[in-house]
Amino acid sequence: MRAAIMATQIKAAPKVGMVSLGCPKALVDSERILTKLRADGYGLSPDYAGADVVLVNTCGFLDSAKEESLEAIGEAIAENGRVIVTGCMGNEADVIRARFPGVLAITGAHQYEDVVSAVHAAAPPARGAFVDLVPEGGLKLTPRHYSYLKISEGCNHSCAFCIIPSLRGKLASRRIDAVLREAEKLVSAGTKELLVISQDTSAYGVDTRHESREWKGRDVRAHMTDLARELGGLRTSEGVAPWVRLHYVYPYPHVDDVIPLMAEGLLTPYLDIPFQHAAPNVLKAMKRPANEAKVLERIRNWRSIAPDIAIRSSFVIGFPGETEADFEYLLEWLDEAQLDRVGAFRFEPVEGAQANALPNPVPEEVKEERFQRIMAKTAAISAAKLAAKVGRDLPVIIDEIGEPDEDGSIGATGRSQADAPEIDGHVYLRDVAATVKEGDIVSVAIEDADEHDLFGVVAK
């Protein structure tokens, strides 16, 4: 008589859907939440219909962002009905509940344990030890070949237009050994580009007095320059250095120390610096440093050390009290600075921001006219800088491979070292070999350019 074979019944895992809004820092929060939920046995649903519960990670920085978050919550409720809200707008739970009383739970920014507990309560996990639930490096919402590396939370600045400190608190730096361990795992799992993010990357470690931790048998300080140098020493499984890109870098004096690392090839020659404005009167009203002349001198010095450095920044247009003379000062400053990538934002009053109480608001029609002028100015600068790259061979990371056309030709979309994902330009390639894959870094002969993008072919 044959022994009966008993089959183990594995309960179907509940599934979670995620809507992630806002900046890359919020995207990292979403990845951490999903990684923990996956480790707890949850499946992931790409649509509302297949989800047992939907998470909406909100943005609350500007009123327009809050409205987008509320619309996303409303859509999730309409399509699914079982919704948990987290993120920056979680601090305004009364506003959310007044509009959507059926929301299951609301948690604030980076409250990982609270949001996971809320999911457990709404859709209890199915436990089982038969499946490897979490891939090496955790779950990602970005392509496999690039990853955001968050090094701190919060901010110690008190800029008049910003409410980030009230949303995310004061600066809280992660231990440098933990940051480097995460970076190493990401690179070993296939990351070819690390994007270092925080609210203030230059201030990393200030709150911990730049404490040292042991890493690979030596002490390493929690300091931006030390972190950059260590990240520059990482290698992929093929022995290739990943691109390391620094974002949200305030121009403190020690930023000068990372430029030689770019010249040595340890760092991607790219700096994302939130200048916000250039006119001294506006910077003072914003409660930001007003040493714009020295900044121009430093930019010239950076370019003398690392000629290929790309500098991106963002500017607030129409801040209360901004005069036509202030705006013209900014345009002249941009002529001198010749920034590679520029974003501009019309000033919006944000509930809780000090700027709301400032006199002399700029009329909306004036904001719009100035916005159009700065975008025209920066587009012309960008077009000239990109045109100067025609005829050069540049390293390009491949983000997407197209389908063959009727002639069998394959196109691809990538980025140069001057282009961060989502916010900067692209490099469009023609006649790509079938062997080229997403995440490959190839040398591209640049054939043409427009105001924002480059066009070329893989160099022979």
29-46 pLDDT tens trace: 888 888 888 877 888 898
88 is in an annotated binding site: yes
Residue 233 has pLDDT above 60, yes or no: yes
The share of the chain scoring above pLDDT 70, in percent, equals 91
Q: Say which CATH class 393-458 falls into.
A: mainly beta
Residue range 99-124, pLDDT digits in tens = 999 999 898 876 777 888 888 888 88
CATH number, domain 146-387: 3.80.30.20
385 or 128, greater pLDDT: 385
Model pLDDT, residue 404:
87
Q: Say which CATH class 15-122 falls into.
A: alpha beta
Do 393-458 and 146-387 fall under one CATH topology? no
23 is in an annotated binding site: yes
- Sign, CA dihedral 144-429-388-305, equals positive
Segments making up each domain of the chain, as ranges: 15-122, 146-387, 393-458
Work out the pLDDT band at 88, boundaries 50, 70, 90: confident
Work out the pLDDT band at 136, boundaries 50, 70, 90: low
- pLDDT, average across residues 126-136: 49
Residue range 279-316, pLDDT digits in tens = 999 999 988 865 666 899 999 999 999 999 999 999 99
Q: What is the mean pLDDT of the chain?
A: 88
- pLDDT, average across residues 412-427: 95
Residue 182 has pLDDT above 80, yes or no: yes
410 is in an annotated binding site: no
Model confidence pTM above 0.85: no
162 is in an annotated binding site: yes
Residue 138 has pLDDT above 70, yes or no: no
Lowest mean pLDDT among 160-169, 331-340, 357-366, 450-459: 160-169
